[in-house]
Chain A
Amino acid sequence: MKFIKTLTVSALALSVSAPAAFAEWEPRKPVEFIIMAGTGGGADQIARLLQGLIEKKDLSSRPFIPINKPGGSGAEAMRYLQDKAGDNHTIMMTLNSFYTTPIIQPDLGVDVTQFTPIGLMAMDTFLLWVNSDRDDITDLDSYVAAVKGAGLDWKVGGTGSGQEDSVLTAMMEAAFDYKVTYIPFPGGGTVAKNLIGNQIDSTVNNPAEQMEFYRAGNSKPLVQFTTERMPAFPDVPTAKELGVDIEYFMQRSVNGPPGMDPEAVEFYVNLFGELFASQEWQDFCTSDGLTCENFMTGSDLGEFHKSNVVAHTALIEQVGASAITGE
């Protein structure tokens, strides 16, 4: 209820300040849809699906162009968006490195709470995956035993130091008291491929990134880091069920650069709100294990970002920034 109330209040406030300008703003040139991760990963798949739906449903008179900027765990993308302050034709698909990267790299000079929140499309999560060739690993206990046996020879693939999967890997190291070698790859899709090719021993991938390999019987999930079991993975236990206190979610939200015009924000909020409610998006959420229950936007999303920055600062302090960057 509070959510709807804030929404109404902010909508009212806005309508008073600029009565006729609403819904009239439209992009005047192609919109750059920045993805702060590499091709084939979860964020990339989502952004490209959304871009296709915008075109299919004819929601914008100008095209949305997805551009991957995966460098430095999203640092490149955030720096880019920061430089675009006041630009109405650049938006970004974000994930949790939106919070973690600026904390680990204070030199970057980016404050994410200054960005313009547009809409939260989904909450994603992670599972722990191994190659299905590993007959010796059937559950969490045998996994932990295998990792402890291998020591630093155990290779975990991820998308970069400071990315959410490295945070999760550090959380697991702390919980199970082992140390692994963490190898960064340019995107979740490449991580998944390297697990199937036996170049690495385990990953924490999003459901969407491993789904096709899982269906083909190339990889198997051991644990999910959710509160409850996802409908897409009814047989995989949660970490909580196994007595391990790790729960981790990843936000998938669209944000703009600092200082966007309110008319433009209104346009993007309406557009992504419509996409969120579409059958295609909801079907994708179900099949890929995403939670898409409410479309958070405006100041609510801003508050959500703020609380996540606080939570991640605490988390990184707890596991230690050095455990994440591997230095």
Chain B
Amino acid sequence: MAAAIASFIGGTVSIILFTMFAPPLAVFALKFGPQEEFALMLLAFATFIGLGGDDIPKTIFSILLGLVLAAVGFDIISGQPRMIFFDMVEFQRGIGFLVLAIGIYGIGEMLWTLESTKGQIKMHNVKITWARMKENFGEIGQYINSTWVGSFIGFFVGTLPAAGATPAALMSYGLSKTFSKDPDSYGKGNISGVAAPEAANNAASTGSMLPMLTLGIPGSPTTAILLGGMIIWGLRPGPLLFQESPDFVWGLIGSMYVANVVTVLLNLALIPVFIRVLAMPFTLLTPIIFVLCVLGVFATTDRMFDTWIMLFIGVVGYLMRKLNYPVAPAVLAIVLGPLAERSMRQSLISSQGDITTFVTRPISLTCVLLALLLVSYPLIQRYTRKRKAAAATE
């Protein structure tokens, strides 16, 4: 419910921004060189610190683990194989985001839930009534702020070529958790934690249309397919598209409005069907999840090797949860690690090794400062809390 509404708001905000500001935003996207991209990644990593809760060293460990796994495969600049464990050629293809995410969130979570509930989990049969739906609509106020955060971050991150929806969703989750009044409730049923990434995800998919239409660079696999479709019909995305084919461009933008409305209606109408999954006993759900995890990885990578890696990572993920290490930062690091590495090395090559290149450009400087602020925010927050507590006991 919240997901559907947040998604709708995120989508609508970003289409309105798109409609009004597409050409100036395209110019802004051009200002984003490697330095700015790296600074943005730094900002994204800074939002993770807030993600991991109070134990900052454990969060940093988790980020580093993700970065190490992301480095497996080919060096992205020189193309040399690196971090090939046990000299197995299978590692040359690297460890995909999907393999890691399914391992940690599929297998790892499953093991954790099995252990913590001893299989005795009770699912409730939720009844959907108009009264409940109405009540749900009334709860919008609880998550509207994180929905706005998600919508704007999603759109802007989405418009940058090669960033895409995943970093946008993760960043907005981290941000809305950092600035939440009650960060501990994230991941334990706080609806804002669903709303922020849902809004960002949808906003970013609209945002990623921008570099595709105005620069001819698809920011995501979906827009790459659209690009192919447009070339067949003789439309060449680029700076002239808005002038040469206005009927097509505005028709496309119009269709995005319609699609957004249709999606939210479908989502709301189908809630009673989706919710049936919750009524399924956990003993039945577990084997289904396991089969889907294995099948999912094999279907996308076509290798048993990746399936084994996924299962292994699942066990690691379970151990991390048991030892109270946050797992989300590791998943984020494997998505953003390669992007950050590439942009950092590009920047340093172009400045011939001069590290000040990140702070001498205005956009990049702003991002770096924001990142520093974000990293120090939890520390300041803890300090003020302690002082307040001390003041209260006196």
Contacts and interface: CB of A to CB of B under 8 A. Distances in A.
A149 interface: no
Interface in A10-62: 39-40, 44-45, 48-49, 51-53, 56
Interface in B76-128: 76-81, 89, 92-94
A143 interface: no
Nearest to B241: A212
Given A66-B224, A152-B352, A155-B350, A183 B34 contact: yes
B171 to A, nearest CB: 21
Interface in B131-168: 161-162
Interface string B211-253: 1000111100000110111011000111111000000000000
Residue from A48, A66, A109, A185 with most neighbouring chain B CB atoms (10 Å): A48
A210 to B, nearest CB: 10
B352 A216 contact: no
B34 A193 contact: no
A52 B240 contact: no
Contacts of B74: 71-72, 75-76
Contacts of A190: 161-162, 217
B339 to A, nearest CB: 9
A76 B349 CA distance: 23
B228 A189 contact: no
Nearest to B223: A39
A193 B34 CA distance: 12
A142 interface: no
Given A76-B73, A183-B34, A190-B161, A162 B79 contact: yes
A52 B238 CA distance: 19
Residue from A72, A153, A218 with most neighbouring chain B CB atoms (10 Å): A72
Contacts of B225: 48, 66
B181 interface: no
Nearest to A196: B30
A5 interface: no
A101 B79 contact: yes
Interface string A94-137: 00000001001101110000000000000000000000000000
A56 B77 CA distance: 37
A237 interface: no
B41 to A, nearest CB: 14
Given A40-B216, A48-B224, A48-B228, A161 B79 contact: yes
Nearest to B80: A105
Given A184-B346, A186-B162, A213-B239, A49 B33 contact: no
A107 B87 CA distance: 12
A159 B32 CA distance: 18
Contact of A44 (B94, B224, B237, B350): B224
A129 to B, nearest CB: 15
B231 to A, nearest CB: 5
A2 interface: no
Contacts of B231: 45, 48-49, 52, 284
A73 interface: yes
B217 A108 contact: no
B321 interface: no
Contact of B217 (A52, A105, A193, A327): A193
Interface in B15-73: 29-34, 73
Interface residues on chain B, size class: 35 or more
Contacts of B31: 197
B232 A280 contact: yes
A83 B94 CA distance: 14
A212 B239 contact: yes
A196 B352 CA distance: 22
Given A181-B350, A325-B78, A215 B240 contact: yes
Interface in A171-208: 181-187, 189-190, 192-194, 196-200
A79 interface: yes
B292 to A, nearest CB: 20
Contact of A79 (B93, B211, B229, B349): B93
Contact of A71 (B30, B73, B211, B228): B73
B238 A213 contact: yes
Contacts of A198: 30
Residue from B89, B93, B231, B342 with most neighbouring chain A CB atoms (10 Å): B231
Given A39-B218, A104-B79, A199 B238 contact: no
Nearest to B215: A193
A179 to B, nearest CB: 12
Nearest to B244: A215
Contact of B232 (A53, A73, A105): A53
A49 B232 contact: yes
Contact of B79 (A44, A105, A280): A105
Interface in A258-290: 280, 284
A3 to B, nearest CB: 30
A80 interface: yes
Contacts of B238: 211-213, 215-216
Nearest to B303: A83
A73 B79 contact: yes
A160 interface: yes
Given A80-B93, A181-B349, A213-B239, A186 B342 contact: yes
Given A39-B218, A45-B231, A72-B81, 11 more contacts: A48-B224, A52-B231, A53-B232, A66-B224, A75-B81, A186-B342, A197-B29, A215-B238, A216-B238, A218-B239, A284-B231
13 contacts: A39-B224, A52-B229, A72-B78, A73-B79, A83-B89, A109-B89, A153-B352, A160-B79, A183-B34, A199-B350, A212-B240, A216-B238, A327-B78
Interface of A: 39-40, 44-45, 48-49, 51-53, 56, 66, 68, 71-73, 75-76, 79-80, 83, 101, 104-105, 107-109, 152-153, 155, 160-162, 181-187, 189-190, 192-194, 196-200, 211-213, 215-216, 218, 280, 284, 325, 327
The 6 closest A-B pairs by CB, nearest first: A212-B238, A48-B228, A72-B74, A72-B79, A197-B30, A199-B33
